[in-house]
Amino acid sequence: MEDDYTSSQYTLNFDFKAFLLRALSYWKWFVLALVIGLYVVYQQNIRKEFPYTLSASISVQDDKNPLFTSNTSLIFNYGGISGKIQDVLLNLKSRKHHEKVVDSLDLYLSYLQQGRFHMTDVYEAVPFTFEGDLEAFQVIGHPIKITFIDDEQFTLSYDFGESESIAVQNFETKEIKTLPVSQPQLERTYSFGAYINLDVLKGRLVRNAKSRHLTGKEFYIEYTNYNTTVSQFVDRFSVVNEGGTPLLTLRLTYRNKAKIVDYLNASIAILDRDLLQRKNQYAINTVNFIDKQLARVKAELGKKADSLNTFKQRNNIFDLGSESNALIKKITQFEDEKMVLEESLLYYDLLKDYLETSKDFTNFPAPAVQGISDSNITQAIAQIIQLSGEKSKLEYSVRSDAAIFDDLNRQIEGLKQVIYESISSNKANIRFQIQTINRNIANLEREFSVMPENQQKLQGIEREYLLSQNTYNLYLAKRGEADLVKASNISDIILIEPAKDIGQGPRVANLSIRYVFAVIAAFIPILLVAFIVTFLDRKIHNPVDMEPLTKMPLLGVVGRSSADSNLVVLQKSNSAVAEAFRAIRTSLQFMYKRQEVSGSKTVMLTSSVSGEGKTFCSINIASVFALSGKKTVLVGLDLRKPKIFDDFEIQNSVGAVNYLIGQATLQDIVQQTSVKNLDVITSGPVPPNPSELLIGDYMHDLITDLKTQYDYIILDTPPVGLVSDALELTPYVDATLYVIRQDYTKKDMLKLINDKYKKGEVKNISLLYNFYDQKAKYGYGYGYGYGYGSYGNGYHGEGTKKKGWLGKLKKRFKG
């Protein structure tokens, strides 16, 4: 049914118009938030320390040693220039590399000076250097103040506050430990070069060339956690490979340009050193290997030489026949060939061991591939190096568990199997050649059997001596080749453009956008508060709000009164509020005429809760009827909360309660006012049973007697939302006015009266919209009692409470 108002009509429907109006009403708070936000952003901007970004450029070349030959080459690198670039990138991005740079420059020690807003890094701009004791533990995270007394002396001070312990670190071993604080504050005087021996700091201040006019100057030194320092530079360091070319650009962003320059140049120097050292390592390993062999062969050669000389002296033999010399020469030739073949077996064993134990095949070090000429093996090695280079590139952009890595590993394993089979075949062929040489040597040695015994022995000793001598000469030649390769090696890194300070400015960010965010940040809380308040607001703010809530007609609208008293009609008869009550009088007369009510007429005023202005409306409705020449009586039937008597300056000692309990007559309770034709019956003393009094026979007698004496009877009753007293009076009245106050009455409060209206328990009821302010913004009008004096007090005593600072703040926020 259309008249059936269910709870669905009271669901929370968001009012965007109310939301916007409420948000606009908070413009003062928005301005305040905006001013605060802009001030905060301004302070942040002027305190912002902009970093610098400097760069250096290097080129990665595939510099082959011009002294390398097929016999002296100690490394085969089939990865090409791209493999070297990937290797360099890996080095530059590794934490280990940055640790070396930090250690080389002691960057965990900062030199600071107090700026306008923050500590400024004055690296290389201080007149001293602090040489910390490498074996000592230094405090980390706490600046130590250096104040110069003159050019020779200074005071060292610190303040650890209320800390009970501090962290210290040894920058040689990188060990960190915690020390209890025995002296939270300290100040001592030292001279340049004097050893500072404190629990938290050990070292000395060394004067440098810039140490002039130091009196009164203040600096700070601060050790930072080593790992934190390294991470700081790792995060701000980047390497860019320009379009796949050999050119690499190193960039670092930091707040001190001098530190950037030193860091980038040191990074390049350390990279160059490490790569050259690794490049020379192949030759170094070969030299070490040959040196061991030389020592062994040299010892054997000495023994053989001693044996030969001793035998010749003992037997007086100083020359051998040409025949024996020819045999010795052939045997020596075979022994040389045998040694070369055995050396090849060694190289194959080294290569196989390298393939079985190594995981990175980008470079094949010596002697892993030295002396191997098999084309199948060298081609397979080239393919393995190429696949390993591809694998290294993919590690930068592809997850380690990707399927492509499994495919590359399978290809590498397949090539390794090919190499293993070739090694096995070649080793078998070499062993066959060695067996053949051994047979030839044995045949030649049998020819010695026909020689005299002394000659045979001498020949054997001399042959062993010559073999050892040839082996020694061979190793000596190889060592010379390795030394030559090592001495002639050059780095693959070419410095194109070193880092330098040429007046670059800082990387200034566009901080204006912060002001935009400040404006947005000022809007957000205001809009959020407006949204929440609007969403949770269930009050009626406009007569239009009542249309979807009830079918009860709107009889009249009373504007907001600025008078100090409830007697608006009497005191300000020309005001808009007085005219509103005259319009209500006309509407009531029209209602009575339509209902064909003759004689005395009654009207009852009630509301949902206390504080909605029903007493105010009752007084002024009674006043307009009296001013029209109609004999009118205003009856105060709010027995629980007596009112109305203060405005008319009358007493409440005797009233309706006395009549209803039979203690007084009508003449006893009627009190005349200063207004002609207007009498007042106050409620009288508060009874213990107000509801029972209103339904008693005396109530019927009271109304009946009043109708015989008055033209209009105005009943001021309790709110129906709190008690049921007013409903007991509906049989006696011709019209009921339900008072609704703007920005006070809640929409849900109409549920009860709607139900009564639907069931027919209340008839001839109309709505009276009170305290209407057309210009009022949503959220206003929460102060109870504007224009009502003490009648704004509710049944639950909220009007009697004094507003504390929170209430005043809320009121100010609302207004």
Q: Give the pLDDT confidence of 593-607 residue by residue, as tens digits.
A: 998 888 999 999 999
Contact between 697 and 725 under an 8 Å Cβ cutoff? The reply is no
Q: What is the pLDDT of residues 771-795, one digit of tens each?
A: 988 765 444 333 333 333 333 333 3
Which residues does 573 contact at the CB level (< 8 Å), separation at least 6?
627
* Domain 543-814 homologous superfamily, CATH: P-loop containing nucleotide triphosphate hydrolases (3.40.50.300)
pLDDT of residue 398: 62
Q: Residue 5 to residues 536, 607, 775: CA-CA distances in angstroms?
A: 21, 19, 31
The token pair that represents 733 in the structure block = 């009245």
Identity of residue 696: G
pLDDT higher than threshold 80 for residue 653: yes
The token pair that represents 295 in the structure block = 């020592």
Q: Which residue has the higher pLDDT, 156 or 638?
A: 156
Residue indicated by tokens 């020449």:
629
DSSP state at residue 498: -
pLDDT of residue 286: 66
Edge-first strand order for the sheet with 128-132 is: 128-132, 202-207, 195-197
* Cβ neighbours of 806 (radius 10 Å): 8
Q: Residue 624 to residues 11, 137, 637, 741: CA-CA distances in angstroms?
A: 39, 95, 20, 20
For β-strands 632-636 and 712-716, DSSP reports them as parallel
Identity of residue 681: I
**pLDDT interval class at 755 (50, 70, 90):** confident
Edge-first strand order for the sheet with 237-241 is: 237-241, 247-254, 52-60, 493-497
pLDDT of residue 183: 85
Task: Look at the chain and count its residues.
Answer: 815
The token pair that represents 508 in the structure block = 């200034």
pLDDT of residue 553: 92
Least confident stretch, 209-223, 375-389, 654-668: 375-389
The token pair that represents 13 in the structure block = 């429907």
The token pair that represents 31 in the structure block = 């301005």
Domain range list for the chain: 7-48+509-536, 282-490, 543-814
Give the H/E segment covering residue 148: strand 144-148
3-state secondary structure of 387: helix
Closest to 792 in 3D by CA, of 618, 566, 569, 584: 566
Closest to 205 in 3D by CA, of 189, 229, 187: 189
Q: What is the pLDDT of residues 369-390, one digit of tens each?
A: 556 777 788 888 878 877 877 7
Closest to 545 in 3D by CA, of 815, 755, 745, 751: 745
**pLDDT interval class at 302 (50, 70, 90):** low
Residue indicated by tokens 């606009």:
24
3-state secondary structure of 620: helix
The token pair that represents 738 in the structure block = 């339900």
pLDDT of residue 300: 67
Q: What is the overall mean pLDDT for the chain?
A: 79
pLDDT of residue 22: 82
**pLDDT interval class at 273 (50, 70, 90):** confident
Contact between 506 and 121 under an 8 Å Cβ cutoff? The reply is no
* β strands within 498-579, DSSP E: 554-559
The token pair that represents 782 in the structure block = 């929460």
CA 275 to chain centre: 39
Give the H/E segment covering residue 434: helix 403-447
Q: What is the pLDDT of residues 150-195, one digit of tens each?
A: 988 999 999 988 888 899 999 999 999 999 988 889 999 999 999 9
**474-500 exposure pattern, b = at least 16 Cβ within 10 A, e = fewer:** bbeebbebbeebbeebebbbeeeeebe
DSSP state at residue 510: -
- DSSP output for 704-755: HHHHHH-SEEEEE---TTT-SHHHHTGGG-SEEEEEEETTTSBGGGHHHHHH
Backbone angles phi, psi at 660, to 5 degrees: -70, -20
Q: Residue 577 to residues 559, 570, 620: CA-CA distances in angstroms?
A: 5, 11, 9
Q: What is the pLDDT of residues 69-102, one digit of tens each?
A: 444 444 444 344 556 777 788 888 889 999 999 9
Least confident stretch, 289-298, 452-461, 518-527, 742-751: 452-461
Give the H/E segment covering residue 239: strand 237-241
Least confident stretch, 110-124, 269-283, 295-309, 373-387: 295-309
CA 2 to chain centre: 56
What is the three-state SS of 554-573? EEEEEECCCCCCCCHHHHCC
The token pair that represents 748 in the structure block = 């849900």
Share of the chain above pLDDT 70, in %: 75
**pLDDT interval class at 395 (50, 70, 90):** low
Give the H/E segment covering residue 253: strand 247-254
CA separation for the pair 712, 600 (Å, rounded): 6
CA separation for the pair 625, 628 (Å, rounded): 5
Closest to 384 in 3D by CA, of 418, 357, 339, 353: 418
3-state secondary structure of 330: helix
pLDDT of residue 442: 79
